Chains A and B, each alone.
Chain A
Amino acid sequence: DIQMTQSPSTLSASVGDRVTLTCRASQSFNSWLAWYQQKPGKAPKLLIYKASNLQSGVPSRFSGSGSGTKFTLTISSLQPDDFASYYCQQYFSFPYTFGEGTKLEIK
């Protein structure tokens, strides 16, 4: 199975900050990576697919990049609604695996 490792596990930031979350894979693959946002008590919400494609309706301050074993999710200017947990998921190979998540907290 491909192991997905996210860092940091917790990130403290302020409204207006630019933040970058990292997801590393135990095996190399092209762009078969998705990012999700999850708020407490809610289901995950798809933000990015195929590493850099913005899901419809997601604000343009979110962007994704990467290939191989390192992928990043960047939020260009944090808004109050962005404080949540973020998960990456690889869908390059079965079984489809998720990272452990990064919790984005208000500083």
Chain B
Amino acid sequence: EVQLLESGGDLVQSGGSLRLSCAASGFTFRSYAMSWVRQTPRKGLEWVAGISGVGLGATYADSVRGRFTISRDNSKNTLYLQMNSLRAEDTAMYYCARDPGKQCGGDCHYFDDWGQGTLVTVSS
């Protein structure tokens, strides 16, 4: 059974930093691209960042590029999101999500498994 377990969400002041983690199990982690997707009641679901299975390619939404860094440690089956220069508008539930890959013969860019989420609150 695929399991994705996020952690690291917290209350942080504007301008601060936070690192989110997502521990994966139940599948061959290095074989799958992964993403972070966030959700707020006001803006809904927003794809934030993605990374290839081997960790060589990373992409970012314009809203976070230059402030957030996605990375992974395949030896630990863990995905990370380093969040710097946090703003009030980064307040959201953050989900890690798996790209099914094999359904598309490559990276699909939709998501077949999601974690339960970790809440980030940025106070201004």
Contact of B108 among A42, A49, A98 (CB under 8 A): A49
How many A residues face the partner with a CB closer than 8 A? 20
Give A residues with C-beta under 8 Å from B: 32, 34, 42-46, 49, 55, 87, 89, 91, 94-101
Apart from A49-B112, A94-B109, what are 20 other A-B pairs with CB-CB below 8 Å? A32-B109, A43-B117, A44-B45, A44-B111, A44-B114, A45-B114, A46-B110, A49-B103, A55-B112, A87-B44, A89-B110, A91-B108, A91-B109, A91-B110, A96-B47, A96-B109, A98-B45, A98-B46, A100-B44, A101-B45
How many B residues face the partner with a CB closer than 8 A? 20
Whether the Cβ atoms of A87 and B61 lie closer than 8 Å is no
22 sample A-B contacts, Cβ–Cβ < 8 Å, listed by A number: A32-B109, A34-B110, A34-B111, A43-B117, A44-B95, A44-B111, A44-B114, A45-B114, A46-B112, A46-B113, A49-B103, A49-B110, A55-B112, A89-B45, A91-B109, A95-B47, A95-B61, A96-B47, A97-B47, A98-B44, A99-B44, A101-B44
Judged by a CB distance under 8 angstroms, whether B116 is at the interface is yes
Q: Report the nearest B residue to A43, measured CB to CB.
A: B114
Contact of A94 among B59, B95, B113 (CB under 8 A): B59
Give B residues with C-beta under 8 Å from A: 44-47, 59, 61-62, 95, 100, 103, 108-117
A43 CA / B114 CA spacing, docked (Å): 6
Nearest first, the 10 A-B pairs at minimum CB distance are A43-B114, A91-B109, A34-B110, A98-B45, A96-B47, A46-B112, A91-B110, A100-B44, A95-B61, A96-B109
